[in-house]
Amino acid sequence: MNVSVKRIQAIFVKDYKEFYRNYAISTMVLMPLALAFIYSMTGNMDLQSLFMPINLTFAMITAFIQSCLIAEEKEHNTLRSLLLSPASIADVLIGKSALVFVITVIVLGMCMWILEFSPANLAAMGVALVLSTLFYLAMGLIVGLYTKTVMEASVGILPVMIVFSFGPLVLLFADRYPVLEVFQWLPSAQLILLEQYSVTGATSDIIVSLVVLAVWAVVAVSVSAILFKKRMSDE
């Protein structure tokens, strides 16, 4: 599979223009920022609520925009000709993912700035956020593969949002129902734990968290790659 920087750039620019001119999608960016702003107004936050806007960004921005970019191609009947064009599948996916990655970094940065949140261990948190982004990019790709329009994609993203963004909230009930402990292995919960460990300086726990996140990312990326190949040969 040949990869060309020029083609990736063309796809990146095209998707960027399509993204910001389509207000139904681009205004989504404001949601986590607004949430971050409201949280910062209330002040005096625990880690749970501090990470809420961040985990929401991953589902509502990273995964959602990624799925929309794929579903949009189908909605406008441009995907088939794009795959027949000189651009390889790798070009298309890297171009789209790069755009979503940049948007994610900007929104996360702004969220953290609004929340006045500075991670205790910047390097570990940076790696963790990048791994999470990869994971949610793959989730968005999977949702995009199975939806045909932006409308469907916005419904399809709901399960991702409920499970991964709101999953950590379930841990509040873990005292009463020990079964719910499994939710701490979610990538979103691991982010919170990682920050906790960083504050206390437990290096081995930090590494465990990063490994868990890496496993999620690798599994999601490979599953999405397999599904993508399968869908493309079906159609």
Partner 1 sequence: MTLTLTAVTEQNRVWIPEYTFTEGVTGLLVDMKRAASVMRQFEKSAYVHQVQDGHYPHLTVQETIAYYTKLAEVEWSVPELLKTFDLITEARTKVKKLSETKRNILTLIKPYCSRHDWVVIEEPFHRIELEGRHVVDQILKGIERQGKSLVLLSSNLEDLLPVTDKIYRMDERGIHKLEFKDETATQNEEPAQFKVNKIQVKHQDKTLLFNPPEVDYIESIDGTVYINVAGVAYTSPLTLTELEVRLQPYGFYRCHRSYIVNLQKVRELVSWTKNSYSIKLDVEKTTLVPLSRAKLSPLKELLGIS
Options 38-46, 78-86, 103-111, 218-226: segment touching partner 1 (CB under 8 A): 78-86
Options 2-10, 126-134, 163-171, 196-204: segment touching partner 1 (CB under 8 A): 2-10
Give the Å distances, CA to CA, from 66 to 57, 58, 141.
12, 11, 6
CB of 65 closer than 8 Å to CB of 25:
yes
Helices within 120-202 (DSSP H only): 122-145, 150-160, 167-170, 187-200
Q: Which string of b and e fits 186-199 if b means at least 16 CB within 10 Å? A: bbbbbbbbbbebbe
Under the binding rule (CB under 8 A), the answer on residue 17 touching partner 1 is yes
Q: Which is nearer to partner 1, 41 or 84 (CB)?
A: 84
Compute the least distance from the CB of residue 226 to partner 1, in Å: 22
Under the binding rule (CB under 8 A), the answer on residue 80 touching partner 1 is yes
Q: For residues 58-77, which are near partner 1 according to CB under 8 A?
A: 76-77
How far apart CA 104 and CA 77 sit, in angstroms, is 27
Options 8-16, 145-153, 187-195, 204-212: segment touching partner 1 (CB under 8 A): 8-16
Under the binding rule (CB under 8 A), the answer on residue 10 touching partner 1 is yes
Q: How crowded is the C-beta side of 198, counted as CA atoms within 13 Å? A: 19
Among 30, 38, 48, 78, binds partner 1 (CB under 8 A): 78
* Eight-state DSSP code of residue 23: H
Return the structure tokens found at 156: 């399809």
Compute the least distance from the CB of residue 5 to partner 1, in Å: 10
User: Rounded to the nearest 5°, which phi and psi values hold at 85?
Assistant: -75, 175
Under the binding rule (CB under 8 A), the answer on residue 152 touching partner 1 is no
Compute the least distance from the CB of residue 68 to partner 1, in Å: 13
Interacting residues of 226 by C-beta distance below 8 A, sequence separation 6+: none
Matching residue, tokens 């088939």: 80
Give the Å distances, CA to CA, from 203 to 57, 67, 194.
27, 36, 10
Under the binding rule (CB under 8 A), the answer on residue 18 touching partner 1 is yes
Binding flags for partner 1, 83-102, as an x/- string (CB under 8 A): -xxxx---------------
Under the binding rule (CB under 8 A), the answer on residue 2 touching partner 1 is no
Matching residue, tokens 């189908």: 74
Options 3-11, 45-53, 116-124, 218-226: segment touching partner 1 (CB under 8 A): 3-11
Under the binding rule (CB under 8 A), the answer on residue 110 touching partner 1 is no
CA-based end-to-end distance of the chain: 20
Under the binding rule (CB under 8 A), the answer on residue 234 touching partner 1 is no
Residues in touch with partner 1 (CB under 8 A): 4, 6-7, 9-11, 13-14, 17-18, 21-22, 76-78, 80-81, 84-87
